[in-house]
Structure 1
Amino acid sequence: MALTETLVVTGGVALVAAGAVYAKTRLFPISEEDEPREDVAEYIAMMVSVLYALVLGLCLVSVWGTSSSASDAVQAEASALHQTYLLADAYPAGHRQQLRDAASAYAHHVVDVEWPVMEAREPLGHSGWDLLARLRQASAIPDSAKPPEQIAGQEALAQIGYVDDARRSREAAAQTSLSPVLWAGLIIGGVLTLAFMFLFGITRNTTHVVMVMGLAGFIAFTVLLIHQLDAPFGAMFGANPTPFTRYFGT
């Protein structure tokens, strides 16, 4: 969802809330004979607001952690793959290009094939792991290699191990989403919080409308923000393949 669409949805929710307040004041106008607000009702409304704030905070922390983990995994994977590519310079002449081709093929596969799949939250399949296995095979050093070449081969294997770990983290982040229980809490809590704004009338209708519009718009914006952050590889706040494209020019 683009920024413009987010603002339109937020403004639309605020306008709907304002219309509801206007309809409520027309159908059920406040008079001087209305009973004063009860302390128990005020306490319940306050507790609902506090609990909803806790749910919002928990959801934001959860999705932010997943998004941050996805970005770190992408950076670590691309960096380790780039180091593997550079280590090919220390390989025997007959093995250098093979290792470079395997590293480049893996990077192109991540950007061109896997990234759209992750954005759609679909399983990545085994093709990426097959290319990683090919990269590991290409990093093998013959027994006749010189000691510096043997050291480079060991370092390449270590870097490929980092690629493996980061790939697992990236796949896990791509399949992670906010719990349905928390989504239910977000929706139900938001509805209850707004509903309590209608139970306690305010003599000044303009003030009441502005308060409800502000609260409804802010709740809608926060829920949309959580929705965007819940997509670790989404277009707005998600991780992007820039680390791979920067190193490999894919």
Structure 2
Amino acid sequence: MLSYLQSVSVVLLGLLVALLLSWLLNRLWSPGERKGLNDVMGWQLGVLGTTYAVILGFMLSNVWTAFRAASMDVNDEAVAVLQIFHAGDSLPDAPREAIQDLTRQYAVAMIQEEWPAMTMHRQPDGGEVILEKMWKFLPSSEFASVREASSDRIGSAVQELQHQRYRRQEQYESHLPAILWAVLIAGAIIVLLSSCLLGNDKTVVHYFHVLTLTLMILVTLTAIADIDRPFEGGVSVRDQPFRSALATMNSGH
């Protein structure tokens, strides 16, 4: 969802807020007075940090697995388009040209319409009309004379294309629920506040500790936010499989 520039801006802003919070706390409550709490706060921070690290790791692993699945499903969708194209080779000239032209139109719609629409968070529907035309092609009168030999192959490929398209639309619409984001954000705030409360006479060391912990958490959170939307943002599933499929179809191979 976030571009690289937006992700960097969020991280820098978070680091600035953490630094200001630490500075303000040191002004209002001297580090020497807080050193007596280190034994208790340090133990608590260790438990909180470990718990939150497990949550972060699980969430990052989950969204990355979903991202990889989306990437593979896009490849399968492009392969289904190629299967329809090559299955049309066994048809007479008129129906062959008709079905292969539809496959080219579908690939072009993915590249020029659906991917830009998903990037801008709009519902991708550019290929739906073309897919309906493929379904209508199967029982057409032109196709009836060769139905025995070719309908099963083309029909199976169109069915697979429909299936992969539905999977992509589901992946586009599916994201981490708000309750999980609430857990991630609340956990980050609790851990960072706990780290700010630790007392250290060497304020530079304390600032370094707070900033590095903040950096790690914010980088992970922005990565989760970006990867959670596999068709948007700086890290996203590209339309390269459809570009490759279109090039193959145009070359006649």
2:131 counterpart residue number? 132
C-alpha distance in structure 2 between counterparts of 1:178 and 1:139, whole Å: 39
Counterparts of residues 30-109 of structure 1 (less than 5 Å): 30-31=31-32, 36-37=36-37, 40-109=40-109
Return the letter of the residue paired with 1:164: Q
- Say which is worse superposed, 21-30 or 182-191, in terms of deviation: 21-30
Counterparts of residues 19-34 of structure 1 (less than 5 Å): 19-31=20-32
C-alpha distance in structure 2 between counterparts of 1:35 and 1:9, whole Å: 31
Equivalent pair of 2:35/2:200 in contact (CA under 8 Å): no
Equivalent pair of 2:38/2:198 in contact (CA under 8 Å): no
C-alpha distance in structure 2 between counterparts of 1:237 and 1:139, whole Å: 38
- Say which is worse superposed, 170-179 or 3-12, in terms of deviation: 3-12
Counterparts of residues 7-18 of structure 1 (less than 5 Å): 7-18=8-19
2:3 counterpart residue number? 2
Deviation (angstroms), 1:139: 4.3
C-alpha distance in structure 2 between counterparts of 1:121 and 1:8, whole Å: 21
Equivalent pair of 1:21/1:198 in contact (CA under 8 Å): yes
Cα 1:72/1:34, change in 2 over 3 Å: closer
Equivalent pair of 1:91/1:153 in contact (CA under 8 Å): no
2:179 counterpart residue number? 181
Equivalent pair of 1:55/1:182 in contact (CA under 8 Å): no
Count how many residue pairs are aligned between Structure 1 and Structure 2.
245
C-alpha distance in structure 1 between counterparts of 2:183 and 2:193, whole Å: 15
Cα 1:101/1:43, change in 2 over 3 Å: same
Equivalent pair of 1:63/1:229 in contact (CA under 8 Å): yes
Q: Does 2:212 align with 1:214? A: yes
Return the letter of the residue paired with 1:25: N
Superposition RMSD in Å = 2.4
Gaps of 5+ in 1: none
Deviation (angstroms), 1:170: 0.3
Q: Which has the higher helix share?
A: 2
Return the letter of the residue paired with 1:74: V
C-alpha distance in structure 2 between counterparts of 1:229 and 1:211, whole Å: 27
Cα 1:58/1:179, change in 2 over 3 Å: farther
Deviation per CA, 1:178-230, whole angstroms, max 9, x where unpaired?
Answer: 11111001111000000001222112111101010111111111111111111
DSSP-derived class of the 1:36 partner: helix
C-alpha distance in structure 2 between counterparts of 1:11 and 1:230, whole Å: 21
C-alpha distance in structure 2 between counterparts of 1:35 and 1:128, whole Å: 64
TM-score (norm 1): 0.87
Q: Does 2:159 align with 1:157? A: no
2:166 counterpart residue number? 168
Gaps of 5+ in 2: none
Cα 1:143/1:24, change in 2 over 3 Å: closer
Deviation (angstroms), 1:62: 2.5
C-alpha distance in structure 2 between counterparts of 1:178 and 1:150, whole Å: 47
How high is the sequence identity, in percent, across the aligned residues?
24
Equivalent pair of 2:231/2:238 in contact (CA under 8 Å): yes
- Say which is worse superposed, 187-196 or 239-248, in terms of deviation: 239-248
Deviation per CA, 1:56-111, whole angstroms, max 9, x where unpaired?
Answer: 12221222122222211111011110121122221112211111111122222222
Counterparts of residues 223-242 of structure 1 (less than 5 Å): 223-242=221-240
